[in-house]
Structure 1
Amino acid sequence: MTRPTRRPPASHANAADRMRNAPGTWMHITTYPARYSAQNTASRIRTGQYEAYAPAGAYEARIQPTEIETAVYARYVGAAAQNGSTA
């Protein structure tokens, strides 16, 4: 069996910038061979554990299974979304 090709790490700072420039638009962040890795990354995006996605709640994230991998998508909803305000 051959070893899977290693992917370069996701550039979270670049992804966060792209999303802030297009609020509400879902964007592909990265893809993982293991579902738990994708779930972990999505959780870290939602909770702002990656500095680029701070504060917590400013970004939504979801995973999408593909035929053989699991993709992570996220969108910027704004810092106001974390406390329910619209202004």
Structure 2
Amino acid sequence: MSRLAKRPRANHQQTAEALRQQPGVWLVVGDYRNSITAKDIAHRISHGYPMSGPGYGTPYQPVGAYETRTELTDDGTRIHARYTEPRKDVRS
């Protein structure tokens, strides 16, 4: 039985920077074979959680400034994200 070819790892630092430079534009974050992993990564991006552990941190700051969506592909799940202007607390 043959193994599946390795995929390139997503560079989240680079992706976050590209998103901040193009507010409102959807960009591909990466492709994942496992849809559960893709949904977890998308959740981490949109909520500003660390990508792989507390020591790694997250490049997706400020919290709440990123939106994500996933799409099924022929061989997995693709994550798209976009940067929105950081939300301001509105006080009445």
Band of TM-score, shorter chain: 0.7 to 0.9
Alpha-carbon RMSD across the aligned residues, in angstroms, is: 1.8
| Match runs of 1:5-84 below 5 Å | 5-50=5-50, 51-80=58-87, 83=89
Alpha-carbon shift at residue 76 of structure 1 (Å): 0.1
Could you say what secondary structure the match of 1:53 adopts?
coil
Matches of 1:54 and 1:44, distance apart in 2: 11
SS at match of 1:8: coil
Point out the structure with max Rg over C-alpha: 2
TM-score (norm: length of structure 1): 0.86
Runs of 4+ in structure 1 displaced over 3 angstroms?
none
Q: How many Å separate the matches in 2 of 1:22 and 1:56?
A: 17
Could you list the runs of 5+ residues in structure 1 that have no partner in the other structure? none
How many residues align? The count is 84
Unmatched 5+ stretches in structure 2: 51-57
Which structure dedicates a bigger proportion of its chain to helix?
1
Deviations 1:12-53, CA, capped at 9 Å, x for gaps:
110011111110000001001111011011000001114110
Shift of 1:84: 6.3
